[in-house]
Structure 1
Amino acid sequence: MQRVVIKLSGSIFKQPFDLNYIKVLCESFVSLLNEGIQPIIVSGGGEVARNYINALRAFGVDETTLDEIGISVSRLNAKIIIGALGASAYPLVPSSMDELSLALNLGKIVVLGGLYPGHSTNATAALVAEKSRAVLFVNATDVDGVYTADPKIDKNARKYDQIDTKTLFNLVTSSPIIAGSYDLFDPLAIKIIERSNIRTKIVLCTPQNILNAIKGSKVGTEIVIK
């Protein structure tokens, strides 16, 4: 059975939850499983994680602890996806690579959040893709690909259909990396997909975009290893 890793933007866990959207999203994951493709889902922390992190940072809490808070919230978000998937999902949230490996052997959809402080859920998803020998890593985020600048701020930003890892690295290192700030991709995730030559696409987080990316349609931005 082929495996694909799907990193879900934390934006889909904005409260109150859009339960219908989550239901449709999970139905698309089940359809993949029924076609012989095992999805591995990594949930982001989203706004709730950022709210906790920002509040605790204001009280002077260290960045490692803030990372741990983000991990905890991402694992709660993973439980939402597991609940929506029902019997198609492995019922627990793996908290280590060893637990992930055991879960994958059961042939169900596996859902996890963050694993290690200092690692964004993007980097976690890249590690999971490497460990599971996934044929594709889809980063489903809140924008429809990689742009020359933040399209929410710069109206002149241009979208890349393809971007090489060197150019992407330069883009993402132009901002400081702190807990709660990993929106699109981060340097560690880039290095992981480079070293294992992992096919990667960045798409807007919709069920159809994710399915299109997995089935080979032109959507979002494809990352070219360089």
Structure 2
Amino acid sequence: MMVKKYNRILLKLSGEALMGAQKFGQDPETISRICSDIKEVREAGYEICVVVGGGNICRGAEISKMGIERASADYMGMLGTVINALAIQSILESMGVYTRVQSAIPMTTICEPLIRRRAIRHMEKGRVVIFASGTGNPYFTTDSGAALRAAEMHCDAIIKGTQIDGVYSADPKLDKSATRYDRISYKDVINNDLAVMDIAAITLARENKIPILVFNLHEKGALLEVLKGKGTFTIIE
């Protein structure tokens, strides 16, 4: 599939993607493989930033059902994203990749506060910037955080790593007749209620004309292949 030449990209990782075959927490082998792909993309000349979720540790919407007030539950989820960001940072730097973690909730002892111009400068210098804490606000997902950071950083595209190789009309694991799309519009994703990213994220990407490329995160080397227009993926634009 032909894609535009991108220079600066944002990679969206779910917390669940870091679990590997586990049911909770972080799988070091899986994180190392993902970091290896990020390093490969950086060495190919792309500027890259990452937004990571925290669902492998704490999902606010779920734990609020236990009786914890929703805003507090969401803040707990944001802390999970910081744990994941620090893990990714550590493994990337063990591979020789310079990184910075910026958190929307200030935690100056362990990472930088979110400063837009500083983050852009880090990427210009070849560093990978990892954004934690989503938007920094309860009731918003890290998908919305990814779209927001992509717009703030003037990214050319959002690369969404998932468990499957693109966008389908239904969950292909449950519905064998589900149709896979090579290309689909933001409008059709919203109108058909396709579970790719939440509506706020899709709307923000559409307003800022940022394409979203959806691919299977678990195929080694797939990230760079997608950026070259190879492999299997879906473009939302």
TM-score, with structure 2 as normaliser: 0.80
Q: Percent of counterpart pairs with the same letter?
A: 26
Return closer, same or farther for 1:18/1:89 CA change in 2, 3 Å cut-off: same
**Equivalent position to 2:56, from 47, 55, 61:** 47
Q: How does 1:102-181 map to 2 (within 5 A)?
A: 102-106=118-122, 107=125, 108-113=127-132, 114-115=134-135, 116-172=137-193
**Equivalent position to 1:215, from 188, 206, 228:** 228
**Which whole-Å CA distance do the structure 2 matches of 1:130 and 1:91 have between them?**
19
CA contact (8 A) 1:144 1:220 kept: yes
Q: Which has the higher helix share?
A: 1
Aligned CA-pair RMSD: 2.3
Moved more, 86-95 or 145-154: 86-95
Return closer, same or farther for 1:198/1:53 CA change in 2, 3 Å cut-off: closer
| CA apart distance, 1:188 | 0.6
CA offsets per residue over residues 174-208 of structure 1, 9 Å max, x none? xxxxxxxxx63011111111111112111111342
Q: Mark the runs of 5 or more structure 2 residues left unpaired by the alignment.
A: 1-5, 106-112
**Which whole-Å CA distance do the structure 2 matches of 1:213 and 1:57 have between them?**
38
Helix, strand or coil at the partner of 2:58: helix
Tell me what 2:32 maps to. 23
Helix, strand or coil at the partner of 1:77: helix
**Which whole-Å CA distance do the structure 1 matches of 2:39 and 2:221 have between them?**
13
CA contact (8 A) 2:26 2:56 kept: no
CA offsets per residue over residues 67-94 of structure 1, 9 Å max, x none? 2222211121111111111152334333
Tell me what 2:103 maps to. 94
CA contact (8 A) 2:92 2:99 kept: no
Q: Mark the runs of 5 or more structure 1 residues left unpaired by the alignment.
A: 174-182
Moved more, 67-76 or 16-25: 16-25
Q: How many residue pairs get matched?
A: 213
